[in-house]
Structure 1
């Protein structure tokens, strides 16, 4: 029986990233087979490895399916063809066979050399510019005549290696998320990463949900902002409303934060909060007038820390600071994420998934939530490199702050 073969190569940290294991599993899972033609393993942990692999399948169709599967793990043709370029037929429209990106570093082979794709994000197209640069581009930003990369010829996905430092990899966690490890130990390692990010002039961004306030975690985030550890906040209307409500009335959703007891007519406190912000004009004007004197957004204003609030159909108000145009909000999110080195996703499923889709896999992501499903969905939606901690954020955040302060004193 005749078979079809193709020789591909992989280069990089293909062993410790598990890319090689995934490639072998995908080939076998599709009913194909493989043979190692050359395998040069890096001697030191900083060395890269090189593999030349022959892939065999029963027919051309099956072989093409296998090659498509393993392409996104970094396996490319041994003799790369030039990337296929086609013009966009009109604004916000792509050729039917456009290449859809991953969040991993990507290069395209064009004009006999490799070009690194800029602004890497998943689920975008690649536009080749006149200056021979390639840029990850949302479909809404595509203009008629833009040169679009199509198909997978000449496209190389570079799967990142796993970080080498224990504090970066969370080596104590054997899976993508953990709810059974010692909380203090985990908090210490998160604090170390935040502390190191500031020390190394990195940028730490928080993606937060209102549970930060409901569980009493707001003072800890406020302190981190005040001491220069947080460089930006991405959230929805709810985090801002409940943070301001708790700062003014001491409640969140009408419940006293200090003892979780209901307040008479407390159900209207969050609407009173929305009304007050409108009365002053904005969160900043509320701070400037002296009405808002503590909390996450008070600290943002006082310390010139930018924040972006994205609206949704369920918002009360929303606050005047909230961007209700979802496309504009997405663009503002991306602007604030530029240069981010560590992103903390705290108790917000939808915003976490959205931000995860905007980030390259080289950015460290830590997701903290009481619900295991939040972390699982974040990983399932493409942010495979996120590290999850399943715990109560109200108890966890004070521990992280305590450990940061301990780092400062040593």
Structure 2
């Protein structure tokens, strides 16, 4: 049998980390022996465990340890991190360490150093001159980059599960359901947002066109105007229908205020794109008076950056849309590292894309009428995202009103 000893630390009992560790080992065909365990006796205490993991082959053992590292398990034997140089652009050495989205340190030159700009499914690169470590997507790897290989000298620290049952993020962090008390959740989110802004933090919105379709665009526009939102990440559709709503009073040809079908309204979004094209950009349309209100208008007037990432199905698109999705991803990656909270609202694809870029320290909320949106986010590794299953036309007005209360 091939064996390695791992260590677990934190609230490993009530977060089920210990249980999950044992389950992973057994499910993958390994064996374990708990060598030592110390359980915290107070809420402020952390627990520690030392576990010997055994497997029939070194490959199986490595596979088990790799999966356990995401839970925060670290190799108990302290070794320097192993670095291997890339021999070709966009190519990593075999056995490279694939990052999680949790806070990560590597043991290098006798010190634990933080891995900067942490993001899941990336490689850890070490700058030996600067004594720094940071992540790079595989597409950005250059020949000669020193890349972390294996699990030795890598320490992952998942967010600790709060023991305060009154905290909204703890209360929400359970099975996705539409049966949770909506106002309690919204009031809790509003308080979190106020606290973040009071500390000088940043809040991002990942939004889909349903925000406009449901008549909630005016509430998001007000949140931007009043300084609650620091960046918008969306696609062509949110911006297009927001502009359509401002120019024609419709969204997808339906009158936003009344829900009535407007004759030839199905052409309005294309006419909206045409008007913006004539101005040259959304900013130019605001400056020349073509666009006088709405979400994108408030972004321009209040210097709130936005990233509009294109897709193969876009009409137009608007001139501000980034049709190179890799370039759009790079810009989104920058903002993902800067925010303290993200609200993902009624957009499955953009929510999953953003969730993949976010560090797990970022408070992330997904609001969607479809429970599977939140489930898919979690399945793809964004386990820190918590969900509210409700109509966005209900959520945004209630959130705005909660933020206005003292």
1:210-229 equivalence runs, <5 A = 210-229=209-228
**In 2, distance between residues paired with 1:167 and 1:363?**
19
**In 2, distance between residues paired with 1:27 and 1:108?**
24
Alignment deviations for residues 12-35 of structure 1 (CA, whole Å, 9 cap, x no partner): 332343322210211232344433
Q: The residue matched to 2:71 in structure 1 has which SS?
A: coil
1:288-299 equivalence runs, <5 A = 288-299=287-298
User: Partner of 1:336 in structure 2?
Assistant: 335
User: Partner of 1:286 in structure 2?
Assistant: 285
1:2-401 equivalence runs, <5 A = 3-57=1-55, 62-129=60-127, 130-163=129-162, 166=165, 168-173=167-172, 175-401=174-400
Q: The residue matched to 1:292 in structure 2 has which SS?
A: coil
Alignment deviations for residues 302-351 of structure 1 (CA, whole Å, 9 cap, x no partner): 11111111111111111111111112111111222232100000011111
- Larger mean Cα displacement after TM superposition, 173-182 or 367-376: 173-182
Q: The residue matched to 1:323 in structure 2 has which SS?
A: coil
Distance 1:339 1:46, change over 3 A: farther
Distance 1:197 1:262, change over 3 A: same
**In 1, distance between residues paired with 2:34 and 2:306?**
51
Alignment deviations for residues 109-145 of structure 1 (CA, whole Å, 9 cap, x no partner): 2222222111000011010002111101112222111
TM-score, normalisation: structure 1: 0.94
Aligned length: 405
Q: The residue matched to 2:275 in structure 1 has which SS?
A: helix
Alignment deviations for residues 88-115 of structure 1 (CA, whole Å, 9 cap, x no partner): 1122221122111111111112222222
**In 2, distance between residues paired with 1:151 and 1:111?**
17
**In 1, distance between residues paired with 2:156 and 2:10?**
11
Distance 1:87 1:59, change over 3 A: closer
Q: The residue matched to 1:156 in structure 2 has which SS?
A: strand
The answer on whether the counterparts of 1:14 and 1:159 sit within 8 Å (CA) in structure 2 is no
Where does structure 1 lack aligned partners over 5 or more consecutive residues? none
**In 2, distance between residues paired with 1:33 and 1:145?**
38
1:41, distance to aligned residue in structure 2 (A):
2.6
**In 2, distance between residues paired with 1:285 and 1:326?**
24
1:296, distance to aligned residue in structure 2 (A):
0.6
Q: The residue matched to 1:322 in structure 2 has which SS?
A: coil
**In 2, distance between residues paired with 1:96 and 1:298?**
49
Q: The residue matched to 1:338 in structure 2 has which SS?
A: helix
Distance 1:63 1:125, change over 3 A: closer
Where does structure 2 lack aligned partners over 5 or more consecutive residues? none
**In 2, distance between residues paired with 1:76 and 1:336?**
30
Distance 1:339 1:167, change over 3 A: farther
The answer on whether the counterparts of 2:337 and 2:358 sit within 8 Å (CA) in structure 1 is no
**In 1, distance between residues paired with 2:59 and 2:96?**
20
**In 1, distance between residues paired with 2:113 and 2:163?**
27
TM-score, normalisation: structure 2: 0.94
Q: The residue matched to 1:230 in structure 2 has which SS?
A: coil
The answer on whether the counterparts of 1:176 and 1:387 sit within 8 Å (CA) in structure 2 is no
Q: The residue matched to 1:178 in structure 2 has which SS?
A: coil
